Amino acid sequence: MSTEYDNFVGGEWLPSDDGETFTVRNPAATDEIVSRYQRSTEEDVDAAVAAAAAAQPDWAAMPGPERGAILRRTGELLAERKQSLVTTLTTEEGKTTAEATPEVQRAIDIFHYYAEKARDFDGTVKAASGRDKTLHTRKEPMGVAALVTPWNYPIAIPAWKLAPALATGNAVVIKPASEAPSLVRAIVDCLDEAGLPAGVVNFLTGSGSEIGGPLVSHDDVDVVSFTGSTRVGTTVYEQSVADGKRAQCEMGGKNPAVVLPSADIDEAVEVVGAGAFGVTGQACTATSRAIVHEEVYEEFVAGIVDHAQEITVGDGLDGADMGPQVSESELDGTLQYINIAQDEGARLAAGGSRLDEGDHADGHYVEPTVFADVETGMRIAQEEVFGPVLAVIPVSDFDEAVSVANDSEYGLSASVLTDSLSEAERFSRQIETGVVKVNEKTTGLELHVPFGGVKQSSTNTYREQGDAGLEFFTTTKTIYTNF
């Protein structure tokens, strides 16, 4: 029997207004119902926002070190439950245990990081221009934050939104993706146990199409943070700013890895393969395009094909290298792009098929897939697939490589594989992305530095993580005192 979980509103676990629920299934074994959650309504949104608005002033008035102590205790509680959270993440989202474990640790680290930041995040003292005067600034919370988080990093991304929002004195209503809501519920449970005052965090589950709009456009919501697709994120941003709210949306990517002749090709294959097929390609920062110099093109293609064919696909709890896609719709989307690529003339070099026999019969499995001889105008080179599919594009020189890399409506993450310091520096300056890596995979982020994209990958308003996360959730007041 699966467990049914409630919303968390005003410090209480409560059913939705109309009592309707939805099921969450294991993507590795779709006949297994993992849990049931509330299908929330607009009335539930109103209740959650009201609870947050009522609780926020007292939470903001609490000294930063006291708020930080609650965040620190939350991180400790998450650490105590780490193994259980890893299993839950794998069972709901499909990541392998090897991928789920560092993600859970990332969430723990984020709460500890912002616990310390809460101690001394405030304004600055400036010299006044006259005698007998003081001049200083103060950081103040925005108010009520609406957080809409995705399924592909179901504990790390909620953590890097929740922790800075709370550290700076905001109250929160958070809506996780319906495919994997249990990790956010676990964070909320830990916050409650750590002593967070009632109403400061509120947790709603349900369809984004039904409650997402009412949440981000609610009159009493002051700031909105969203991570998800470009299509949905654009709508969220428009709804949010129409009423003058502050908003940030991090969205899709078509991330390139450029392989140049000076690179160690074996190393390049490992780096690109990890970026393309890790987390089943279900990352906004996943390596989707390998742009390879013609001098090493054939060697690279042979290597990446071998790499893809050596990956074991299966249940993440059973030691597989790559797990299933999260849902039937995501799998269908990947298979459609595989067909489109073949129709357009790309050469299928590895994979390309759904796995649906034997141990794969009940899951959303697809082979790691490599297309070679891809042209930059093909849809497989332009549109986000969000699955384990890599398009390999040949180029003749460095300038063409950068031009092809920038030939995209997205601009999130990029990497260059080279042993030339000059090429690395030129690439980092010329590439049109928010994140650039040299001799590293396009995925993987440090928690203490800004993260975000350009073009259609982001609203490019505010960055997330590190001090940038704190800045997004606060406003600055300047105070003049004549004594």
**What's the farthest any 2 CA atoms get from each other in the chain?**
82
SS (H, E, C) 194-230: CCCCCCCEEECCCCHHHHHHHHHCCCCCCEEEEECCH
Burial class (CB within 10 angstroms; exposed 0-12, middle 13-18, buried 19+) of 339: exposed
**Secondary structure of residue 480 in the 3-state scheme:** strand
CA distance 301 to 290: 10
Q: pLDDT in tens for each of the 483 residues of the chain?
A: 579 999 999 999 999 999 999 999 999 999 999 999 999 999 999 999 999 999 999 999 999 999 999 999 999 999 999 999 999 999 999 999 999 999 999 999 999 999 999 998 989 999 999 999 999 999 999 999 999 999 999 999 999 999 999 999 999 999 999 999 999 999 999 999 999 999 999 999 999 999 999 999 999 999 999 999 999 999 999 999 998 999 999 999 999 999 999 999 999 999 999 999 999 999 999 999 999 999 999 999 999 999 999 999 999 999 999 999 999 999 999 999 999 999 999 999 999 999 999 999 999 999 999 999 999 999 999 999 999 999 999 999 999 999 999 999 999 999 999 999 999 999 999 999 999 999 999 999 999 999 999 999 999 999 999 999 999 999 999 999 999
CATH class in words for 255-438: alpha beta
User: Tell me, what's the pLDDT at 1?
Assistant: 54
450 CB-near residues (< 8 Å, 6+ apart): 463, 464, 465, 466, 467, 468
Q: Under a CB-based contact definition with an 8 Å cutoff, are residues 167 and 195 in contact?
A: no
Q: Under a CB-based contact definition with an 8 Å cutoff, are residues 2 and 333 in contact?
A: no
Domain boundaries, the chain: 3-251+458-482, 255-438
Q: Under a CB-based contact definition with an 8 Å cutoff, are residues 384 and 336 in contact?
A: no
The domain 3-251+458-482 having CATH identifier 3.30.1360.200: the answer here is no
Burial class (CB within 10 angstroms; exposed 0-12, middle 13-18, buried 19+) of 7: buried
Alpha carbon distances (Å) from 370 to 257, 351, 403? 14, 7, 22
Q: Which of the residues are catalytic?
A: 284
**Secondary structure of residue 388 in the 3-state scheme:** coil
CA distance 349 to 308: 10
Q: Give the sheet arrangement for strand 12-14, strand by strand.
A: 12-14, 7-9, 201-203, 171-175, 144-148, 223-227, 246-250
Helix (H) or strand (E) holding 133: strand 133-141
Q: Under a CB-based contact definition with an 8 Å cutoff, are residues 209 and 229 in contact?
A: no
Q: Give the sheet arrangement for strand 369-372, strand by strand.
A: 347-350, 369-372, 389-395, 287-293, 255-259, 413-417, 435-438
**Secondary structure of residue 188 in the 3-state scheme:** helix
> Model pTM?
0.96
User: Tell me, what's the pLDDT at 172?
Assistant: 98
CA distance 200 to 171: 5
User: Tell me, what's the pLDDT at 445?
Assistant: 94
**Given its phi and psi angles, is residue 408 left (phi above 0), alpha (psi -120 to 50 degrees) or beta?**
beta
Q: Under a CB-based contact definition with an 8 Å cutoff, are residues 441 and 394 in contact?
A: no
